[in-house]
Structure 1
Amino acid sequence: MPQPEGAELDVVLARREELRQRYLRPLSDRPPTTARGIHHVAFICRDVEETIRFYQEFLGFPLVEIVENRDYRGSTHFFFDIGHGNLLGFFDFPGHEHPPLTETIGGVQHLALSVGAAEFDAARKALDEAGTDYLGPDRGVEDSLYIRDPNGVPLELYREQLGIFDGESIVSRTDGED
């Protein structure tokens, strides 16, 4: 994908700084969010069992529910526990073609999942042992591993605490609590 350069890059950077100055309030001046968190994010999968094995056995996210999709008979809807009351959901749609994932407006660029240091190291070791391609610390991002699930969903395993970005707290630690 071509990246802006020269004068075009200068415009992009100036616009970002303008937005930052206009809308980004210091943490101490921000109102609390109106949401309690992500209940679930739902993706489409090609193969239910393959998806369960990847998320439960490889990444260690327990499968917590598996039911029929209420909107499409014969379709399976299932959920994984990804911590702190958050769920990762999937649907299959038997009989439908599933084109490859593309990075486009309105699409998913990646889903970043917070993991601890031990889980990060274990995932990297498992990826290396399986000969699975990934982007990781060798590209200059020490705390990230970028992989794709069996459905092509781009994932980032991010060795960072929730609410922290580049070592800085960017949200109130009480956001979303009842």
Structure 2
Amino acid sequence: MKIDRIHHVAYRCRDAEQTVRWYGQMLKMDFVLAIAENEVPSTRAPDPYMHVFLDAGHGNVLAFFELPSQPPMGRDPNTPEWVQHIAFKVADRATLLEFKAHLEANGVEVLGVTDHGVFHSIYFFDPNGHRIELACPDPDEAPQLARLDAVKWAMLEEWSRTKRAPRHAAFLHAHALAAEEPA
């Protein structure tokens, strides 16, 4: 028994139409489906909603719920805003830079490009306050991923004991810092 793939990931939105249009314009996602009910099918609770689905590529679906009868959206005040996010993969650095320029030209504040060693990312927020990451693979990704795979369990076990960052993957940060050093 094994999971086939993620069917969809759902988040809450403030305005379903604004969200669909923003993801279409900014991230080129197609609007594929809408479901609306006045009663929640799984619980039978009276709670009107609009549930919209967007094509995030390769069978990946990003969905949103607009819930007009619920209190306004909030964030967990104990979780930094950089933690909870959704990341989308793009083909390469050129595509990442195209998206960065496109987003900035449309008034979206973008952080990065950040070099994570095995991949490079930009970060920004959607109109609902959800943090979004676009990531592309590093050209030297394969050997780095193999090194990370070899130490993942040791890292997890050390973290579980100490709650301090293990140094097994310090090479990723060294890679990123070396790339930033002036020639």
Q: TM-score, normalised by structure 1?
A: 0.63
Alpha-carbon separation, structure 1, partners of 2:135 and 2:143: 11
Structure 2 equivalent of residue 96 of structure 1: 70
Does 1:130 pair with 2:106? yes
* AA in 2 matched with 1:54: W
Alignment partner of 1:147 is 2:124? yes
Paired residue for 1:111?
86
* 1:121 aligned residue (97, 115, 131): 97
Percent identical across equivalent pairs?
32
| Offset at residue 99 of structure 1 (A) | 3.5
Find the aligned partners of 2:84 and 2:61 in 1 and give their Cα distance: 19
| Counterparts in 2 of 1:97 and 1:166: CA distance versus 1, 3 Å | farther
Regions of 4+ moved over 4 Å: 139-142, 164-167
Paired letter, 1:150: P
SS at match of 2:122: strand
Moved more, 70-79 or 81-90: 70-79
After TM superposition, the structure 1 stretch with the greater mean CA deviation from structure 2, 127-136 or 36-45, is 127-136
Residue type at the aligned position of 1:46: R
* Residue segments in structure 1 that go unaligned for 5+ positions in a row: 1-32, 172-178
Distance in 2 separating the partners of 1:61 and 1:166: 32
More strand, by proportion:
2
Question: How do 1:53-72 and structure 2 match up within 5 A?
Answer: 53-69=21-37, 71=40
Which of 7, 11, 14 in structure 2 is aligned with 1:46? 14
CA contact 1:144–1:159 (8 Å) conserved in 2? yes
Give the Cα separation in 2 of the matches to 1:66 and 1:165: 39
SS of the equivalent of 1:50 reads helix
Alignment partners' CA distance in 2, 1:35 and 1:103: 32
Q: Secondary structure at the match of 2:127?
A: coil
Which whole-Å CA distance do the structure 1 matches of 2:23 and 2:17 have between them?
Answer: 10
Uncovered stretches (5+) of structure 2, i.e. residues with no partner: 41-45, 150-183
Query: What is the aligned-residue RMSD (CA, Å)?
Result: 3.0
